[in-house]
């Protein structure tokens, strides 16, 4: 049964009739509880503004960091360079406008990144906006509301510009969010989402720690500075030419890739998709395209033959898949004999090898490295048994990091689902407010 209920208007509410069905009413952003309001951001903020429309003079001795939208990332301000402003006097108004109820928003180029201002010594540039939330609205609830799909759609509808997209202050002020009637309920929602963010943050820190430990372990084990228990035989010097035969990938254009067919690896994926080894290729090509490409086998080392910088040239991954696969153009393939390919996959991306590849790269706008260049790279190799043991240690560490990343990603997905339920009132953490609570 549908009923229609009239309640006193909130000072923040938008105009319009309210039709409530089973306690919910339909709004421009979907159904929300009957005692919630749909409000414009301009109605629940004391001020919405952007930063300085000028280029400051920087100094390492300045007192305040001058930041833009690219410094706003995943809920916090990230200082990427020493960009401290020389004189604070010309920026005073942009500092004093920031307080403990300020939310920062990127509005130029990358749109929609958010941060809760926490008293950092910063001055905003023109690609960052500040939104100062009214005292009767929970700041963290406001912050989470800006992360919803509904707000993203409204922002996107109001973007201007072609090459560089811009989110104007007028669009921000007119964007609408659902608002629970009390700070009690707003705070309850914010606390739940903050707890999930805390878990995600803790997982991110743990992942970063595990990666750092792995990097340190690689530095020790791949250079022989630390030996695993039971190994003491002398390492021997080789060039890559000593390990096996080189060949060159061929064919496989971007539009050759399909949903079906046989597995293939393209050189760009060595930079973007694979790290040290490949277990299951993500791309497929039809059989007729495969007939013109280079077949690769388990244990082959794949090097990117071209790249943007000398530092990244020759990025390598060992193919460990069990299916016969194919290598496209700009991939140099080494088929080693009598070695552990997983160990070599790690070693080929270690700094001792990366430095040699960088010196061999040729070209400016696009850097190339050939099989002849790669064949000259010199490495110190432990006996095969020690290679096997080192590869096992490093792959176990990779597996642990991957498990943590899956847990982190799953938690992020859960958070998104929780936001969908909590920020439109489909799940209520407190009972609908009483008259006394509505004044809290």
With bands split at pLDDT 50, 70 and 90, how would you rate the model's confidence at 18? very low
The model's confidence at residue 58, banded by pLDDT at 50, 70 and 90, is confident
pLDDT of residue 309: 87
**Domain 2-179 architecture:** Alpha-Beta Complex (3.90)
CATH 3.40.50.720 fits 180-231+384-440, yes or no: no
Assess whether pLDDT exceeds 90 at residue 297.
Answer: yes
146: Cβ–Cβ under 8 A, 6 or more apart, which residues?
A: 103, 105, 112, 114, 177
Instruction: Indicate if 180-231+384-440 has the same CATH topology as 2-179.
Output: no
Residue 110 has a pLDDT of 87
pLDDT tens, position by position, 355-373: 999 999 888 778 899 999 9
Reduce the DSSP state of residue 320 to 3 states and report it: coil
Lowest-confidence segment of 113-122, 268-277, 290-299, 425-434 by average pLDDT? 425-434
CA atoms within 13 A on the CB side of 147: 26
**pTM, entire model:** 0.82
Give pLDDT tens digits for 276-290.
999 999 999 998 889
pLDDT one-digit tens code per residue, 127-155: 999 999 999 999 999 999 999 999 999 99
- DSSP, collapsed to helix, strand or coil, labels residue 240 as helix
Report the C-alpha gap between 380 and 234 in whole angstroms: 10
CB contact at 8 A, 313 and 349: no
Range in 74-83, 276-285, 335-344, 408-417 the model is least confident about? 74-83
Q: Options 3.90.220.20, 3.40.50.620, 3.40.50.880, 3.20.20.70; which CATH number does 236-381 get? A: 3.90.220.20
CB 258 within 8 A of CB 284: yes
Give residue 163's pLDDT. 84
Domain coordinates in residue numbering, the chain: 2-179, 180-231+384-440, 236-381
């Amino acid at each position: 049964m549908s009923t229609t209920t009239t309640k006193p208007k909130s000072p923040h509410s938008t105009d319009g009739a309210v039709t409530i069905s089973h306690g919910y009413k339909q709004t421009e952003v979907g159904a929300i509880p009957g005692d919630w309001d749909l409000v414009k951001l301009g109605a629940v903020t004391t001020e919405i503004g952007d930063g300085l429309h000028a280029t400051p003079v920087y100094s390492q001795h300045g007192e305040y960091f001058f930041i833009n939208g690219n410094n706003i990332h995943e809920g916090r301000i990230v200082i990427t360079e020493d960009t401290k402003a020389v004189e604070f006097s010309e920026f005073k108004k942009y500092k004093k406008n920031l307080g403990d109820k300020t939310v920062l928003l990127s509005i130029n180029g990358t749109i929609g990144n958010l941060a809760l201002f926490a008293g950092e010594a910063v001055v905003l540039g023109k690609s960052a906006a500040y939104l100062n939330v009214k005292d009767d609205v929970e700041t963290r609830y406001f912050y989470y509301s800006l992360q919803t799909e509904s707000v993203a759609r409204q922002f996107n509808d109001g973007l201007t510009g072609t090459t560089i997209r811009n989110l104007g202050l007028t669009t921000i002020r007119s964007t609408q969010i659902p608002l629970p009637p009390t700070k009690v309920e707003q705070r309850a929602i914010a606390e739940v989402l903050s707890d999930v963010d805390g878990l995600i943050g803790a997982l991110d820190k743990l992942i970063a720690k595990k990666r750092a430990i792995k990097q340190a372990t690689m530095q020790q084990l791949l250079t022989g500075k630390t030996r695993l228990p039971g190994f003491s035989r002398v390492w021997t010097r080789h060039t890559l030419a000593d390990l096996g035969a080189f060949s060159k990938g061929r064919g496989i254009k971007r539009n050759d890739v399909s949903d079906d067919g046989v597995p293939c690896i393209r050189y760009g994926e060595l930079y973007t998709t694979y790290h040290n080894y490949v277990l299951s290729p993500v791309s497929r090509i039809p059989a007729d395209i495969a007939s013109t490409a280079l077949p690769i086998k388990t244990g082959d080392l794949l090097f990117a033959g071209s790249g943007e910088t000398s530092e990244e040239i020759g990025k390598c991954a060992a193919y460990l898949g069990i299916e016969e696969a194919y290598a496209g153009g700009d991939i140099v393939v080494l088929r080693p004999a009598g070695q552990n390919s997983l160990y070599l996959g790690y070693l080929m991306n270690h700094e001792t090898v990366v430095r040699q590849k960088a010196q061999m790269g040729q070209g400016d706008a696009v850097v190339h490295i050939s099989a002849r260049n790669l064949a000259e790279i010199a490495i110190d190799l432990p006996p095969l048994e020690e290679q096997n043991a080192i590869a096992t240690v490093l792959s176990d560490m990779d597996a642990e990091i991957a498990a943590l990343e899956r847990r982190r990603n799953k938690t992020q997905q859960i958070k998104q689902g929780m936001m969908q339920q909590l920020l439109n009132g489909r799940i209520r953490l407190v009972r609908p407010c009483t008259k006394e609570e509505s004044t809290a």
